[in-house]
């Protein structure tokens, strides 16, 4: 999702998407392109593989420099963007996974941790429209795909992001209204259905 949004925002067209049916094994192309982690996504550009979604978005911004930059122009702004992108990668998914993978009191504790993580992100956003200020950019691209899971976290955890973090919820809506984001994100209801099936498969409920 991050890569697709970045391409759309940079105006890159004519790329080919090849999906992996991961439950049924990994293709030779994937194993060859990302032998270390053997994970998607992988961007193949000029015969070279670029791996890890955040790293790919960095690459896209540099490889297509004539388009509007996704990162701030100043060194401090870029450093700040990299910090918060790293925070999103390290904190948001794991905090959410603890909710959907938990039971009983575990979910309550995970919910509280998740809300604290989102509050920190809300603090970083402040009163700005986007993390880069007035312009949708790098941190927004890194963070917004993870919000497609938020409905699931809310239903399992018994809370509302909008009530806990209204400025962050407004940012989510702002981003989701962008064409690049709307085209890339899955239906949150379908994500919820998938997670419920997954919890049953794993014997969680």
Per-domain boundaries in the chain: 2-63, 75-201
List pLDDT tens digits, range 155-191.
Answer: 999 999 999 999 999 999 999 999 999 999 999 999 9
- What angle is formed at CA 130 by the lines to CA 126 and CA 136, rounded to 5 degrees? 165
Mean pLDDT of the chain: 95
Backbone phi, psi, residue 28, to 5°: -60, -35
Cα(69)–Cα(62) distance, rounded to whole angstroms? 8
- pLDDT reported for residue 181: 98
Pull the structure tokens for residue 144.
């917004």
From the list 87, 83, 81, 56, the residue with the least C-alpha distance to 139 is: 81
**2-63 architecture in CATH?**
3-Layer(aba) Sandwich (3.40)
Our measurement of the distance from residue 154's CA atom to the centroid of its chain's CA atoms, rounded to an integer in Å, reads: 17
Residue 134: pLDDT band by 50, 70, 90 thresholds? very high
Q: What is the CATH number of domain 75-201?
A: 1.20.1050.10
CA distance 138 to 123: 17
- Give the Cα separation of 8 and 16 in Å (integer): 13
Q: What is the largest CA-CA distance in the chain?
A: 51
Structure tokens at 199: 């919890």
| pTM metric for this prediction | 0.94
- Rounded CA separation 171/120 (Å): 14
pLDDT tens per residue across span 25-50 = 899 999 999 999 999 999 999 999 99
Asked if the domains 2-63 and 75-201 are classified in one and the same CATH topology, the answer is no
108-112, 130-134, 201-205: segment of lowest average pLDDT? 201-205
Q: Radius of gyration of the chain from Cα atoms? A: 18
């Amino acid at each position: 999702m991050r890569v697709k949004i970045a391409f759309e925002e940079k105006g890159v067209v004519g790329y080919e998407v090849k999906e992996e049916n991961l439950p049924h094994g990994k293709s030779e192309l994937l194993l060859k392109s990302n032998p270390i982690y053997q994970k998607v996504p992988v961007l193949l550009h000029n015969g070279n593989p670029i791996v890890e979604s955040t790293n790919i978005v960095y690459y896209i911004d540099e490889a297509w420099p004539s388009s509007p930059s996704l990162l701030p122009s100043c060194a401090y702004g870029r450093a700040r963007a990299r910090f918060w992108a790293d925070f999103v990668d390290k904190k948001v998914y794991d905090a959410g996974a603890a909710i959907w993978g938990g039971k009983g009191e575990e979910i309550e504790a995970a919910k509280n941790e998740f809300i604290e993580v989102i509050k920190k992100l809300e603090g970083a956003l402040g009163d700005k429209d986007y993390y880069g200020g007035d312009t949708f950019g790098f941190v927004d691209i890194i963070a917004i795909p993870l919000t497609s899971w938020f409905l699931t976290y809310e239903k399992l955890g018994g809370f509302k992001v909008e009530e806990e973090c209204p400025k962050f919820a407004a940012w989510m809506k702002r981003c989701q209204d962008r064409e690049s984001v709307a085209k890339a994100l899955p239906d949150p209801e379908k994500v919820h259905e998938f997670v419920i099936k997954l919890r049953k498969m794993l014997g969680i409920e």
